[in-house]
Structure 1
Amino acid sequence: MDVGKIFFSTLRQSRISSYGSRLRGSLGVNFVKNCAAQHSRAEEAVVGREKIQLSRPSVVKWKRPPFMKCLFVNKYDVELCAFPEILTKEQLAEVEDSVKSINLLYAEKVNSHEIDETQTIPDSILQDLRELGLFGRMIPTKYGGLDLTHTACTRINEVLGLDWSLYASITAHEFMATQMLLLYGSEEQKQKYLPLLASGKKIAAFCCSEFKSGNDLLSISTTADNVPEGFRLSGTKSWVTNAENADLFIVFAKMQGHMDPKSREISVLVVERDSEGIEVVPLEKTCLRGCKTGVVTFKEVLVPSGNIIGTLGRGYEMYLKVMENFRFMLNSFTFGTLKLLLDSVTEHVIHTERLGKSLADVQLVRTKLTKISSVIYAMESVSYFTAAICDSTENPDIALEMAAMKVFNSENTLYCLRELMDVVGSSSFTKRLQLERLYRDAQGLAMFDGSNDIARLYIGLSGCKFVGSQKAQEVLKFRNRFFFPTDHFKDIIRRMRIKMNRARFEHDIAGHVHPSLVIPANNLESRLQRFELAVEEVLSDHGAKVVETQIEPKKLANAAIEFYVQAAVLARISRSYCIGLKNTTHEMLLASIFCHDSDLRIVLELNDILVGMAKNSEGPALLLSEQVIDTKGYFPEHPLRHNY
């Protein structure tokens, strides 16, 4: 059977209520219009272009310690073993009605292939999204937004994100630029701008990156000089999303007299598009082509003093806070598309024969599809787990959780697409199936707010800093063992017990999840004990100078990310099994597969740290890097060269 026909016609009918568009744009699926026509008139009435109205749940918010930071000191919040429930049955029904509205809108109007080819999102689509209120998903209602919870927003984003260029444009508008005004703007600024931004009448762009500084905000060269009328803004910003159609620019600049490259004295200004001296040049990209990206140059632009956001010189702190929500929203939607792709590729496998038998009977193909399913399951679990923590925690400290989810979901989106393309074969490289476009877009999403290695360093070093603040005396002792012989002897015994798996489980994670999950839960707690040893080893070797290292903090971050995702998976499957959801027996196996694979990755990272760089491959690689730098690249002689 022709691969294209399978992709165009065999997506499962059982999910139409959840994903009505069936990736019409992403996979060229045209049958959705026929599906939509089959809906009853009563159902069609639900999907008018009226603004989405959802009742906000009255969730009791608890004071909780930061989950991921506490992992670095071997503390585990067992209360989160019970997956937090945010939406009631009635509220979930309201959300699903909104999902149907967006489904049919995408089925009728969104063609991702055309958006990619023309590099333009039609104005009619943007207008429909404005009418639905989707430019202000989490903006309070008093400013004209929908005021959604993180959980409800994530559910809607599964469908809103079926076109990744369109989703990236809206998300950059709301969760970067608009979020800065919402969190730090004065009440006067909020009243002036937020209603216009929430309604989509004005589009905002976030201007922080520069060609020479990249995402290193401390190295920017844009300046804002004091003048009698306010500030004179000069500089060039690169990779500005929504640059061409933005009405407002949120600009980061160093104030007059603060040109030190390491200075943190950065401020944030609101600059209106009609100000004199603004020049926008579009950038050509290979990914997210429908998302308008450009270079914005400010040539002595006059900015009123009332357009400063927040406190002067606090721009760096404000940037870090805004990036938390943006990382969450930009990386908690792709699993919706991946589930649909898995459906269609599975249909392709069932109807494709090789060597006289169906591909569905080939063990390697079956295993590959199962592994993909387990990864999508983990991505979905950690997204809703993180959303639930945000919704149920008072003033949550979730910076590391957001960074961890960004790394895990973005990289595993690429993994799933790569594996699905491998299953489909060479046809996946044709534009007809759109898989190559999705892979290009996934690369763009992974790099959108900086490289994943930077996010890993942030996680690892922040975790080490937290350990230093919580266990300063312990760190002092294991860095100066000679002066604390008794404590050193006790520590030797403790380490031996942990390495021999004889240490007592203090958290009893297995006792807080379903009994069927005893093995993965005990493995998780055992690895947490070894993780604590690894953290101590790193701090013992480097102390305060750990901030100057990168390899070991990165490995700590990799392990911490796996711990966090496993925690989400165990909490979800425990809830599913206890309340008797459909297919929970197989879901249990799926969760166990992921936890097993994740455990192997954790063991590898921790072993590398505990044996030390002198014994693993990192030490020689670091030494050899000097030769690569000195010779400016590849240095071995060609294998055909003679020495005589």
Structure 2
Amino acid sequence: MLQIMGKRCFNQVVKKRTIYKQVLNSTSTQPVAKDSETEFNKQLKQYEELSKIAPKRARAKKPQRKPFAKNLFLGNFDEEILTYPQLEKEDIDELETTLTQVEKLTKQELSNYKQFDANFLQNFGDYKLIGLQAGTFENGRECNISEHTKIMETLCHHRLRNNIIHNEQLGVQVLVKYGSDSLKKEFLGYFTSGKGIVGFCMAEDKMSNLTNMATKAALSADKKEWILSGEKIWVVNGNKSDFLIVFAMTDLVERDELQIPKITAFLVNKNSPGISSTQYDVNNLDLSKIRFDNTPVPIGNVIGVEGDGEKMILSIMNEFRLSYGSVCTALSKKIANKLCDYVIEETTDENLLLKTDAVRDKIGQITLNTFAMESMTYLTAGILDMYENQDVELEAAIIKYFSSQKTVENANICLNLVGTPALEESHWCNKLHRESLKYATLHETNDNLKVIIALMGLKYVGDTISDQIRIARNPLFNAPEIFKRMWNIRKDIEDNPKLKLKLNECLHPSLLMSANNLEYCIHRLKFGSEILLTRYGAEIMNQHIDLNRLADCIINIYAMTAVLGRASRSYCIGLQHGDFEMLMANAFCNYAKEAVQLNIKKIYEGPCQTNDENHRVIAKRLVKFKGYFPVHPLSRNF
């Protein structure tokens, strides 16, 4: 196909050149038209661009496997995941060449840019760094998920990382994945060339679920336009965007006493009538509230299929959560490097700051946190590249939570070590701390996400072993099964599960203890999941304290899997610092095992032996008196 198009374009250029020469050699006194020369140069440039395009090597994927993280709740472990994914040699060579260009761009050419505007974005378009998964004819690179993730991580070393990641993941990538052929033909090349910024409009005030979406869209009388009305909040790049991706309700269907909303996505020109915006007062972030007042949208600007917006949102959020691994890894590396420079500069022969255990302990924590989030991110990206349509919604949520939470933790460690100078707003530590807070709160808070992580896993367990849970919840009617179950879980009750998965056989022998710790945690996760479903049934949705504990367990287990697989691979293939990766993997698994052990212990003990019920009673008292209620300690009644 490429050869045919290139040959056709070349023939047109030759024909143009022949005509142009005939005009030049003619004895006519009429001036040569400049349009012919311009057209010739344009055709020649098109041919040169086509000649540079090389189709990507076909990348075959393996058949879809069962979801890895969800299966951990059942005590099942897919050993193939411990074979940490990697790119082919040809892909790595090409990627390294691209990364060299990206580093030069971010550290030299764009280092002084402080505004995410057209001039800034144009540079990205020139280097084909927008819409990285788009086709070559759309000015993209046809990257797979791993390549995309690595390039975005490198781009996110720039101070405008938040704007970059939102324009790419919640803007251009939506069109790449779901845009129709006509939309791509008209707009995708425009965005990938860096000529426009895209804003993502989803969040609304007081929208607890999609049935409460206030933004509505209705067809006009002539059926040629959609009329859009409503208001969206927390729109990143909203003030500077040229186009907006807007989700609106187009219908509300009532079925079996349930209301089912039909959500549709639209590509809206920011200059369309009826659009107004108000900017939030947030430092270093273009965050806006955008209102639509009978805004007309061409019927061809529907993204995807009408009414499929909810499915699109779920898929988009999975990829966006995964992208948090890139941006938080870049930010955490910057925190680690800055802190290391600071400690080295402040160390003298008198204080020996760098050699104190307190400083070494903190720097070690930051390094472990960053190592884990990086390992999890590229493990998940590799799984997506390796298997066809793999379910990683739980893994993506885990990465978003872990990466953003640990980045805040890293920034707090840095603040404590730097001390008073970090109070200045212009101080590098203060800036990085404020930046880290954005990723823990923007779009979805980490507390809410943690509950969602646990419920995702428990739903999978409930759907898979619903009969076993029903029997366990009705012991008087199922005595034989209950006695059998009690016998099977006797070792779990004693906190001494039998290790029979033999995960150590999939890793380097030096990781034997950590592999056993991982298997121990998997058995404890299964035990804790069954306890909660047996104890609460459907009411588990309201037991947020225990859900948080269970979420902590699966997050730590997935992180353990990632660091062990990565360290084993690095050491076996002889990567530099591979021996230290083994050490870090062992250290992280020690921390994770202790956390899982404590959380499952509290789940097993129940609310009576923990402080859960005490916290609930205290909270009720505070609400009853509408504030802090204890009498001041200096008060007296006599």
- TM-score interval w.r.t. the shorter chain? 0.7 to 0.9
> Following superposition of structure 1 onto structure 2, how do residues 375-394 of structure 1 map, counting pairs within 5 Å?
375-394=369-388
The 1-side partners of 2:146 and 2:451 are apart by 28
Q: What is residue 224 of structure 1 aligned with on the other side?
A: 217
Q: What is residue 570 of structure 2 aligned with on the other side?
A: 576
> Following superposition of structure 1 onto structure 2, how do residues 508-547 of structure 1 map, counting pairs within 5 Å?
508-547=502-541
Would the aligned equivalents of 2:232 and 2:291 in 1 still touch at CA under 8 Å? yes
> Following superposition of structure 1 onto structure 2, how do residues 164-179 of structure 1 map, counting pairs within 5 Å?
164=159, 166-179=160-173
CA deviation after TM superposition for structure 1 residue 73, in Å: 0.9
> Following superposition of structure 1 onto structure 2, how do residues 472-511 of structure 1 map, counting pairs within 5 Å?
472-500=466-494, 502-511=496-505
Aligned match of 2:268 in 245, 255, 271? 271
Aligned match of 2:133 in 135, 138, 141? 138
Would the aligned equivalents of 2:215 and 2:230 in 1 still touch at CA under 8 Å? yes
Residues 508, 176 of structure 1: alpha-carbon distance in 2 compared, 3 angstrom cutoff: same
Structure 1 stretch displaced more, 586-595 or 408-417: 586-595
Q: SS state of the match for residue 248, structure 2? A: strand
> Following superposition of structure 1 onto structure 2, how do residues 598-617 of structure 1 map, counting pairs within 5 Å?
598-617=592-611
Structure 1 stretch displaced more, 442-451 or 352-361: 352-361
> Following superposition of structure 1 onto structure 2, how do residues 20-59 of structure 1 map, counting pairs within 5 Å?
58-59=59-60
Q: What is residue 281 of structure 1 aligned with on the other side?
A: 278
Q: What is residue 448 of structure 2 aligned with on the other side?
A: 454
Q: What is residue 556 of structure 1 aligned with on the other side?
A: 550
> Following superposition of structure 1 onto structure 2, how do residues 88-103 of structure 1 map, counting pairs within 5 Å?
88-103=88-103
Pair 1:160-2:177 in alignment: no
What residue identity is the alignment partner of 2:502? D
Pair 1:188-2:185 in alignment: no
Residues 186, 234 of structure 1: alpha-carbon distance in 2 compared, 3 angstrom cutoff: same
> Following superposition of structure 1 onto structure 2, how do residues 273-352 of structure 1 map, counting pairs within 5 Å?
273-286=270-283, 289=284, 291-352=285-346
Q: SS state of the match for residue 243, structure 1? A: coil
CA deviation after TM superposition for structure 1 residue 72, in Å: 1.0
The 1-side partners of 2:485 and 2:346 are apart by 60
Deviations 1:323-377 (A, max 9, x none): 1111111332332343344234224323424792310121111121112111111
Q: TM-score, normalised by structure 2?
A: 0.86
- Structure with greater Cα Rg: 2
The 2-side partners of 1:258 and 1:94 are apart by 50
Structure 1 stretch displaced more, 542-551 or 314-323: 542-551
Residues 547, 187 of structure 1: alpha-carbon distance in 2 compared, 3 angstrom cutoff: farther
CA deviation after TM superposition for structure 1 residue 89, in Å: 3.0
The 2-side partners of 1:241 and 1:128 are apart by 20
The 2-side partners of 1:365 and 1:261 are apart by 57
Residues 101, 431 of structure 1: alpha-carbon distance in 2 compared, 3 angstrom cutoff: farther
Would the aligned equivalents of 1:281 and 1:295 in 2 still touch at CA under 8 Å? yes
Q: SS state of the match for residue 135, structure 1? A: coil
Q: What is residue 121 of structure 1 aligned with on the other side?
A: 116
The 2-side partners of 1:556 and 1:371 are apart by 23
Pair 1:435-2:429 in alignment: yes
> Following superposition of structure 1 onto structure 2, how do residues 579-598 of structure 1 map, counting pairs within 5 Å?
579-598=573-592
Q: What is residue 352 of structure 2 aligned with on the other side?
A: 358
Residues 422, 500 of structure 1: alpha-carbon distance in 2 compared, 3 angstrom cutoff: same
Q: SS state of the match for residue 630, structure 2? A: coil
The 2-side partners of 1:382 and 1:606 are apart by 23
The 2-side partners of 1:107 and 1:502 are apart by 53
Deviations 1:161-192 (A, max 9, x none): 0124x222232223223333333333322332
Would the aligned equivalents of 1:331 and 1:406 in 2 still touch at CA under 8 Å? yes
Residues 642, 355 of structure 1: alpha-carbon distance in 2 compared, 3 angstrom cutoff: farther
Residues 471, 240 of structure 1: alpha-carbon distance in 2 compared, 3 angstrom cutoff: same
The 1-side partners of 2:434 and 2:251 are apart by 41
CA deviation after TM superposition for structure 1 residue 535, in Å: 0.6
CA deviation after TM superposition for structure 1 residue 431, in Å: 4.6
Gaps of 5+ in 1: 1-50
Q: What is residue 70 of structure 1 aligned with on the other side?
A: 71
The structure with higher relative contact order (CA 8 Å, sep 6+) is: 1
Would the aligned equivalents of 1:335 and 1:376 in 2 still touch at CA under 8 Å? yes
Q: SS state of the match for residue 261, structure 2? A: coil
Pair 1:395-2:392 in alignment: no
Q: SS state of the match for residue 365, structure 1? A: helix
Q: What is residue 83 of structure 1 aligned with on the other side?
A: 84
Would the aligned equivalents of 2:331 and 2:407 in 1 still touch at CA under 8 Å? no
Residues 271, 432 of structure 1: alpha-carbon distance in 2 compared, 3 angstrom cutoff: closer
Would the aligned equivalents of 1:138 and 1:153 in 2 still touch at CA under 8 Å? yes
Deviations 1:520-547 (A, max 9, x none): 1111111211211111111112223333
Q: SS state of the match for residue 124, structure 1? A: helix
Deviations 1:547-600 (A, max 9, x none): 344222222111111111110001001111212222222222211111111112
Would the aligned equivalents of 2:122 and 2:193 in 1 still touch at CA under 8 Å? no
What residue identity is the alignment partner of 2:100? K
Q: What is residue 20 of structure 2 aligned with on the other side?
A: none
Structure 1 stretch displaced more, 173-182 or 536-545: 173-182
> RMSD value over aligned CA atoms?
2.5
What residue identity is the alignment partner of 2:242? D
The 2-side partners of 1:344 and 1:242 are apart by 28
Pair 1:467-2:457 in alignment: no
Deviations 1:244-295 (A, max 9, x none): 2222211122235679997533222222223211112222203xx1x42211
What residue identity is the alignment partner of 1:478? A
CA deviation after TM superposition for structure 1 residue 80, in Å: 1.0
Residues matched between the structures, number? 583
Residues 72, 175 of structure 1: alpha-carbon distance in 2 compared, 3 angstrom cutoff: same
Would the aligned equivalents of 1:283 and 1:293 in 2 still touch at CA under 8 Å? yes
The 1-side partners of 2:216 and 2:610 are apart by 46
Structure 1 stretch displaced more, 626-635 or 192-201: 192-201
Gaps of 5+ in 2: 1-51
Q: SS state of the match for residue 381, structure 2? A: helix
Would the aligned equivalents of 1:255 and 1:267 in 2 still touch at CA under 8 Å? yes
Would the aligned equivalents of 2:215 and 2:249 in 1 still touch at CA under 8 Å? yes
Residues 454, 262 of structure 1: alpha-carbon distance in 2 compared, 3 angstrom cutoff: farther
Residues 452, 311 of structure 1: alpha-carbon distance in 2 compared, 3 angstrom cutoff: same
The 2-side partners of 1:633 and 1:262 are apart by 38
Q: What is residue 235 of structure 2 aligned with on the other side?
A: 240
Deviations 1:190-236 (A, max 9, x none): 332222222222322111112333x7444321112333143321111
Residues 97, 558 of structure 1: alpha-carbon distance in 2 compared, 3 angstrom cutoff: same
Deviations 1:382-414 (A, max 9, x none): 111111111111101011100000000001111
What residue identity is the alignment partner of 1:430? E
CA deviation after TM superposition for structure 1 residue 53, in Å: 8.6
Deviations 1:50-82 (A, max 9, x none): x99995573543421111110111111111111
CA deviation after TM superposition for structure 1 residue 602, in Å: 1.3
Deviations 1:449-468 (A, max 9, x none): 31112221221111111111
Pair 1:419-2:413 in alignment: yes
Q: What is residue 23 of structure 1 aligned with on the other side?
A: none
The 2-side partners of 1:351 and 1:234 are apart by 57
The 1-side partners of 2:346 and 2:53 are apart by 42
The 2-side partners of 1:55 and 1:181 are apart by 20
Q: TM-score, normalised by structure 1?
A: 0.85
